[in-house]
Structure 1
Amino acid sequence: MKFDTWEEGMALYKMYAHEVGFSVRTWTTHKDDQGVPVWKRFVCAREGWRKVATDEERIKPKRNFKLSRCGCEAMIGFKRQDDGKYEVARFVQSHTHQLISPSKRHLIKSKREVVS
């Protein structure tokens, strides 16, 4: 599947994520010398593991956050082709956690928008 811009691909993946029941975040971007993304990856918001705090970081008071990372591997990667369009280079569909129920999907962080 090809897109004119990576933003179009991201928008489609966010719609897919909302329908399935998970939140999306940007994971990594690799840019060329002109600053144009060569490839870009978006992952499930629960991808990876929480960073272990160092001794210095434990001294500073921090807010307690709900543990949200569980090592989920669901992701999509877009790569820029020679014609300047972005193609899906990698897609992992499986999740290692429960998905959000339809009644709570309107609360998904990646779907929220501020309306003025």
Structure 2
Amino acid sequence: MKFDTLQQGIRFYENYARVSGFDTRLYSTKKRKSDGKISLKYYVCNKEGFRETKTSIKLQKEKTNNQN
């Protein structure tokens, strides 16, 4: 679907989620390199998993290396 404004899209998804029995949350935001303005926002079901951060991936690698 396309919306005239970001706010209209967010409102639609939040209303749909409420009617369907789930909640939403902001998953990630992307900014344009040229001017730093937000170009994309991902909203997901609140039960959607989280992306791993670079720090958590680094810690997992360190744990694996220390066990060997």
> How does the TM-score come out when normalised to structure 1?
0.39
Structure 1 residues 5 and 36, CA gap change in structure 2 (3 angstroms):
farther
The equivalent of 1:26 in structure 2 is 26
RMSD between superposed Cα atoms in Å: 2.1
Secondary structure of the residue aligned to 1:19 is: helix
Q: Could you say which structure has the greater relative contact order, defined with CA pairs below 8 angstroms and 6 or more residues apart?
A: 1
- C-alpha offsets along residues 52-97 of structure 1, whole Å, 9 cap, x if unaligned? 9x8xxxxxxxxxxxxxxxxxxxxxxxxxxxxxxxxxxxxxxxxxxx
- Unmatched runs of 5 consecutive residues or more in structure 1: 55-116
Residue 38 of structure 1 pairs with residue 57 of structure 2: no
Question: Which position in structure 1 is the counterpart of 2:64?
Answer: none
Aligned residues: 52
State how far apart, in whole Å, the 2-side matches of 1:36 and 1:6 are: 13
Aligned to 1:48: 49
Tell me the TM-score normalised to structure 2 length.
0.63
Letter of the 1:20 partner, please give it. S
SS in 2 for 1:39: strand
Which aligned runs of 4 or more in structure 1 are off by greater than 3 angstroms? Answer: none
Q: Identical aligned pairs, as a percentage?
A: 38
